[in-house]
Amino acid sequence: MGETKPSLSKPPASKPLAGKRILIGNDDGIHAPGLKALEEVAHALSDDVWTVAPEVEQSATSHSLTTRRPLRLRRFGERRFAVDGTPTDCIVVGLNHVLKDRRPDLVLSGFNHGANLGEDVGYSGTVAVAMEACLFGIPAIAMSQQREHEQPVDFAPAKAFAGDIVARLMAVDWPPDQLVNVNFPPLAPEAVKGVRVGRQGRRDTQIGVVEGVDPGGRPYLWIGDFLRHHSEDASSDLGLVAQGYVSVTPLHLDLTHHAGLERLRGLLG
């Protein structure tokens, strides 16, 4: 995936993933506009598309799993379901209950309302959907649409590029422990420079905490967002999206710091 832009013309006559079963999840909830946009893209790829999403927004829940209470499953359509739990709960329920007859060939997560770049990966419920699918050995892609500060999200770039990216990724063999994180810049589709692959970045600023006073006069603290998305590394996901590219980042679940293994073995015997 380099400088060439995916075609923005009409979709091909035959569906690129015909015969493939796709499961969609997210963290913004079953009624999120980004979910509807991703469902449209998925239906252009395959006729066998299912959705299992949180009943309400579950942003920043990361890879959390509900184990101390029962979950409720509600149907919102022939192949659309909601779970009153986390994004991870939804994929577990989707794979082991809703689609227990035949697991999907691909899990898509998104389109998230806002980017999931750099450190966001560790907090993101959108990425957690793909992580959980990866644990089950299923190819998974998390997709997020960056927005301009305080502006409504326009999912046009995601809708324009996602189908081609998904089809191209599914045309190659995946390592069993890999998932893919995709972020779309907040530009008109024709202004997007193309698609580039880059590593997970790191912001130059840290997440903020806002102080305030509630109506009863009691002080509170509210953990906010990162103050800005800037990074000195132009080749990272943060840098690529800032330059106007769609960023594609392969991730994996092994958190072992392999370079430190031998040093610690020598230190601790």
| pLDDT tens-place string over residues 84-122 | 999 999 999 999 999 999 999 999 998 999 999 988 899
- Mean residue pLDDT of the chain comes to 89
pLDDT at residue number 52: 98
Segment 171-189 mean pLDDT? 93
Asked if residue 173 belongs to a known ligand binding site, the reply is: no
- Torsion angle (degrees, nearest 10) of CA 41, 15, 237, 109: 50
Segments forming the whole domain that contains residue 125: 21-202+232-268
Residue 46 annotated in ligand binding:
no
Q: Which tokens belong to 191? A: 């202004």
In a domain, 26, yes or no: yes
Determine, yes or no, domain membership for 118.
yes
CA dihedral over 251, 253, 257, 259, signed as positive or negative:
negative
The answer to whether residue 220 sits within a structural domain is: no
pLDDT at 18: 92
User: In the predicted model, is pLDDT for residue 8 greater than 60?
Assistant: no
- 95: CATH: 3.40.1210.10
Predicted confidence band of residue 7 (pLDDT cuts 50, 70, 90)? low
Does 27 show up as a binding residue in the annotation? Answer: yes
Q: What's residue 134's pLDDT?
A: 95
Q: Residue 170: exposed, middle, or buried by beta-carbon count in 10 A (0-12, 13-18, 19+)? A: middle
Residue 10 domain-assigned (yes or no)? no
Other Cβ atoms less than 10 A from the Cβ of 235: the count is 15
pLDDT at residue number 228 = 59
Q: Is residue 215 part of a domain?
A: no
pLDDT of res. 204 = 65
Q: Is 225 within a domain?
A: no
Within a domain: residue 43? yes
On the question of pLDDT at 150 being above 90, the answer is: no
Of the candidates 264, 237, 261, 232, the one whose C-alpha atom is nearest the C-alpha of residue 250 is 237
Inside any domain, residue 186: yes
How far is Cα 1 from Cα 110, in angstroms, rounded to an integer?
Answer: 21
pLDDT score recorded for residue 84: 94
Confidence class of residue 56 from pLDDT cuts 50, 70 and 90?
A: confident
Q: Report helix angle 156-169 to 33-45, nearest 10.
A: 40
- pLDDT of 32: 96
169 in Cβ contact with 196 (< 8 Å)? no
For 228-259, how does the pLDDT look when each residue is reduced to its tens digit (9 = 90+)?
A: 566 677 889 999 999 999 999 999 988 888 88
Q: How many domains does the chain have?
A: 1
Task: Give the pLDDT of residue 9.
Answer: 47
pLDDT of residue 110: 86
Dihedral pair phi/psi, residue 97, rounded to 5°:
-130, -65
47 among the known binding-site residues?
no
